[in-house]
Amino acid sequence: MQYRAKHAIYSPVVPDLPSNTGASNGQDSSAALLGTAKRLPEFSLAEKVVLVTGAARGLGLVQAEALLEAGATVYALDRLPEPSPDFYRVQKRAAEELGTTLHYRQIDVRDVPQLNEIVQNISETQGKLDGLIAAAGIQQETSALEYTAKDANTMFEVNITGVFMTAQAAAKEMIRHGRGGSIAMIASMSGSVANRGLICPGEQPSPYNASKAGVIQLARNLASEWGQHGIRVNTISPGYIVTAMVEALFTQHPERKRDWPTQNMLGKLSLPQEYRGAAVFLISDASSFMTGADLKIDGGHSAW
């Protein structure tokens, strides 16, 4: 059964240029689009509804706040029963300063029936669904010789299947509303290179790296399949990010805090806020002709 046949088909809208653009006499019609009263309107997410998984804290929450600042209504989906204290700060700021709203829904992305129900409910409540950032994921470092099938399956179930099912649930709603949309999946630079910085005696993240490579390839194929519906699918591949989890890792492996900054071209580690712009860019019309792409933000780590 073809899903497309049952739902509205996306039809891209090409804006009409003003009649005085000069296009008829050989002048560049793009000049008519310059000097708009609102600067960079293509980055606006006003009246957009966006889901962000893994947004109870960390990178997901930071990106959710950026979407709010761009004007979006954001739903944070996470497996935690309660979000972090920072979440409530962002939620309050959204309501009092930004004029928009941040909502929270508890969900484990492995629970597909409940995931579908939540996404459909949000879509029906809002009357649309415009974007998704799939940031939910887990990490475990164990020697490849000692990794159990159970641990590997859990890794893939969350990092690949969970991302896939979340994207599928969102895409179904986007197709149903016939508005198109944008999906951004959080991958990793370690999905493109054999990351020597994560190699230490007795501990390897091979299944994690493989799962992120899977996310990159998944996005390419979903982009090719869903493009006919006006749905764009891209990935973000971050480099090393200093989060609370990474800070804890540094206490166990202090050599990583010393060595990691030397492995990229900028000689430093990134902070979560350095990925805010990428989130807004990929979800907004600023990236309207970008799909099936991997946006690497790794300080040049994977370039050498």
Q: How confident is the model at residue 36, as a pLDDT?
A: 55
Of residues 48, 75, 128, 208, which has the active-site annotation? 208
Tokens representing 133? 């950032």
d(CA 73, CA 228): 26
For position 225, which CATH number holds?
3.40.50.720
When pLDDT is cut at 50, 70 and 90, the band that residue 295 belongs to is very high
Q: Based on the structure, what is the number of domains in the chain?
A: 1
Structural domain contains residue 231: yes
Of residues 212, 240, 275, 296, which has the active-site annotation? 212
When pLDDT is cut at 50, 70 and 90, the band that residue 4 belongs to is very low
pLDDT (tens digit per residue) in 84-129:
999 999 999 999 999 999 999 999 999 999 999 999 999 999 999 9
Q: Are 215 and 235 in contact (CB under 8 A)?
A: yes
Structural domain contains residue 1: no
pLDDT (tens digit per residue) in 228-255:
999 999 999 999 999 887 888 899 889 9
Structural domain contains residue 49: yes
DSSP conformation letters of 160-189 = IIIHHHHHHHHHHHHHHHT--EEEEEE--G
For residue 29, pLDDT beyond 80? no
Structural domain contains residue 263: no
Containing structural domain, residue 232 = 41-241+273-297
When pLDDT is cut at 50, 70 and 90, the band that residue 203 belongs to is low
Structural domain contains residue 266: no
Structural domain contains residue 68: yes
> What pTM, to 2 d.p., does this model score?
0.87
Q: How confident is the model at residue 7, as a pLDDT?
A: 47
d(CA 169, CA 161): 12
Would residue 208 show up in a list of annotated catalytic residues for this protein?
yes
Structural domain contains residue 50: yes
For residue 205, pLDDT beyond 80? no
Would residue 6 show up in a list of annotated catalytic residues for this protein?
no
Q: How confident is the model at residue 25, as a pLDDT?
A: 45
3-state helix vs strand vs coil in the chain, percent to 5:
50, 15, 35
Flag the least confident range among 148-157, 198-207, 214-223, 250-259: 198-207
DSSP conformation letters of 76-108 = EEESSSS--HHHHHHHHHIIIIIS--EEEEE--
Residues for the chain: how many in total?
Answer: 304
Q: How confident is the model at residue 268, as a pLDDT?
A: 97
Structural domain contains residue 186: yes
